[in-house]
């Protein structure tokens, strides 16, 4: 079977200048699993690149680089001011499909720039693997009580108003891309996803046949599975009922967030402040958002809470080894986002054996079973989040039981061989249906 993937980013191809952002992401991890557990699959991967060159075969995978058409310099400024023209990669994808001749095409993300191009391919079945749904995220883009005008501060004025390259522009970009996303969903015959939320979204916006296929995590998290001290102590039976996670009231919290308004940095600040009001000595490390960033300035001004004063440290993008070390040295993982599908950061914390507290939104209830594999709290509720953190911090037994249940559930959910088997079954079903339709 020949399969062509249209990926939003480079996977495992070694490209000049490639920063290998966060270990290349989950699509790269899936590719590695497919090569291990389904070596007979002839896999091609097409992705947007700064270069355009002939196809290259590495480790049994054929890589197709599609040169980006995004504007630069003055053209980018003009694009930001006018909205510009959507990039069209149909000709490039048609050429790749003609050259590679796949039996099936899989698009990762209906909101990505390559998704519309896939619709131009005829006589080859195409399935979209749902990542997020922009049309659903737009409604939560600015947290409750926050508006586009709050994105403009003394420190962000030039970027937001003059360059139009900040969060207001990103919101408008989401709105434009959501129209393309809806057209993609409307015309797709097949979709893959992993949560009740994305299944419902597919049913809402599309008539596509839906298949459940879970995500593969980054390899380093499998190597450190169930290695968090709380999870190990639960296995060893070395728990004292009712004993705190830490002696005294010091609590170490970790979160991994993207620098986007709806990811919940405002809630982190308000929750940290609430915990300090309860007498806790808070050390809350946030990976993914850098110190002094526009996001920090915006929400410190909006909430009136300063990160440094309430124990919040913004660490920026971390390499995967440093991130694993940070998580294993933390007591609790908190995911405060206002909308999500199935954040890998939550799954990664779970498989390590961390107790997780997350907002009850989007697809998160499909990966966090409340009061068993984690704690769900109302989105945006700082007091409820603080109470949940305090409850786990003050009861080591409950925290350890939650951590152990999370590690077990995540290990099963993210079993690489099982996921590849599910993926192959979906491919076979789609091919059978497509051939039957032709006959």
CB burial class (10 A; 0-12, 13-18, 19+) of residue 14? exposed
Query: At which residue do the structure tokens 């950061």 appear?
Result: 345
Q: What is the mean pLDDT of residues 114-133?
A: 92
Q: What is the mean pLDDT of the chain?
A: 90
DSSP annotation string for 339-369 = S-S--HHHHHHHHHT--EEEES-TTGGGT--
Q: What CA dihedral angle connects 84, 90, 96 and 102, to 10 degrees? A: 130
Q: What pLDDT band is residue 103 in, cutting at 50, 70 and 90?
A: very high
Tell me the C-alpha to C-alpha distance, in Å, between residue 396 and each of 47, 337, 351, 375: 46, 25, 19, 14
pLDDT in tens, 263-310: 999 999 999 999 999 999 999 999 999 999 999 999 999 999 999 999
Question: What's the pLDDT at 22?
Answer: 53
Q: What are the phi and psi torsion angles at 374 (to 5°)?
A: 170, 180
What integer pLDDT is reported at residue 240 of this predicted model? 47
> In this structure, what token pair is assigned to residue 144?
């409750």
pLDDT at 358: 98
Residues in the chain: 439
- Tokens 């850098």: give the residue: 290
State both tokens at 91: 């000709």
What is the pLDDT at residue 52?
A: 80
The pLDDT tens digits for 300-359 are: 999 999 999 999 999 999 999 999 999 999 999 999 999 999 999 999 999 999 999 999
Q: What is the pLDDT of residue 381?
A: 97
Angle at CA of residue 177, ends 316 and 347, nearest 5°:
45
In this prediction, residues 166-195 reach a mean pLDDT of 92
pLDDT at 15: 61
241 band by pLDDT with thresholds 50, 70 and 90: very low
Low-confidence winner among 64-78, 278-292, 336-350, 373-387 (lowest mean pLDDT): 64-78
30 or 52: which leads in pLDDT:
30
pLDDT digits (tens, 9 = 90+) for 176-185: 889 889 999 9
Mean pLDDT of 228-251: 66
Architecture label for domain 2-216+416-438: 3-Layer(aba) Sandwich (3.40)
Going by C-alpha positions, the residue among 427, 327, 375 that lies closest to residue 1 is 427
Question: Can you give the residue ranges of every domain in the chain?
Answer: 2-216+416-438, 219-413
- pLDDT over threshold 60, residue 244: no
Is residue 285 helix, strand or coil?
strand
**Cβ-contact 173, 112 below 8 angstroms:** no
Same fold, 2-216+416-438 and 219-413: yes
Rounded to the nearest angstrom, the gap between the alpha carbon of residue 316 and the centroid of all alpha carbons in its chain is 16
175-209 burial code (b ≥16 CB/10 A, e <16)? eebbebbbebbeebbbbbbbbebbbebbeebbebb
The yes-or-no verdict on residue 424 having pLDDT over 70 is yes
Q: How far apart are CA 47 and CA 233, in angstroms?
A: 44
Cα distances from 59 to residues 36, 104, 106, in angstroms, run 11, 21, 20
What spatial distance separates the first Cα and last Cα of the chain, rounded to whole Å?
20
Mean pLDDT of 223-250: 70
Looking at residue 79, its pLDDT comes to: 64
Residue 23 pLDDT > 60: no
pLDDT greater at residue 430 or residue 69: 430
- 10 Å CB burial of residue 42 (0-12, 13-18, 19+) is middle
> 219-413, which class in CATH?
alpha beta
């Amino acid at each position: 079977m020949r399969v062509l993937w249209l990926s939003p980013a480079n996977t495992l191809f070694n490209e000049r200048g490639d920063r290998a952002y966060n270990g290349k992401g989950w699509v790269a991890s899936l590719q590695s699993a497919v090569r291990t557990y389904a070596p007979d699959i002839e896999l091609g991967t097409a992705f947007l690149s700064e270069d355009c060159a002939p196809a290259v075969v590495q480790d049994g995978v054929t890589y197709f680089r599609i040169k980006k058409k995004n504007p630069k310099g003055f053209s980018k400024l003009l694009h930001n001011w006018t909205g510009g023209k959507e990039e069209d990669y149909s000709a490039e994808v048609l050429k790749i499909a003609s050259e590679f001749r796949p039996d099936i095409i899989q698009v990762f993300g209906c909101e990505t720039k390559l998704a519309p191009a896939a619709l131009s391919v005829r006589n080859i079945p195409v399935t979209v693997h749902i990542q997020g749904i922009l049309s659903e995220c737009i409604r939560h883009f600015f947290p409750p009580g926050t508006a586009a005008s709050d994105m403009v501060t003394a420190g962000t004025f030039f970027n937001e108003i003059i360059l139009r390259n900040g969060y207001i522009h990103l919101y408008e970009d989401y709105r434009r891309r959501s129209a393309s996303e809806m057209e993609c969903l409307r015309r797709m015959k097949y979709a893959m996803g992993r949560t009740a939320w994305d299944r419902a979204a597919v049913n809402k916006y599309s008539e596509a046949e839906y298949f459940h296929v879970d995500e593969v995590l980054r390899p380093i998290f499998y190597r450190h599975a169930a290695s968090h001290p709380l999870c190990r102590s639960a296995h060893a039976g070395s728990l004292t009922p009712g004993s705190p996670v830490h002696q005294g009231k010091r609590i170490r919290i970790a979160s991994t967030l993207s620098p986007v308004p709806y990811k919940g940095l405002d809630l982190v600040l308000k929750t940290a402040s609430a915990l300090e009001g309860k007498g806790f000595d808070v050390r809350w490390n946030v990976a993914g958002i850098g110190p002094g960033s526009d996001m920090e300035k915006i929400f410190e001004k909006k909430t009136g809470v300063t990160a440094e004063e309430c124990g919040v440290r913004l660490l920026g993008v971390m390499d995967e080894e440093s991130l694993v070390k940070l998580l294993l040295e933390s007591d609790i993982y908190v995911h405060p986002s206002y909308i999500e599908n199935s954040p890998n950061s939550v799954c990664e914390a779970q498989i390590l054996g961390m107790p997780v507290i997350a907002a009850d939104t989007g697809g998160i209830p499909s990966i966090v079973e409340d009061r068993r594999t984690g704690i769900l709290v109302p989105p945006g509720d700082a007091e409820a989040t603080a109470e949940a953190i305090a409850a786990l911090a003050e009861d080591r037994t409950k925290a350890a039981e939650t951590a152990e249940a999370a590690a077990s559930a995540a290990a099963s959910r993210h079993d690489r061989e099982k996921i590849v088997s599910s993926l192959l079954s979906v491919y076979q079903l789609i091919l059978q249906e497509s051939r039957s339709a032709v006959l």
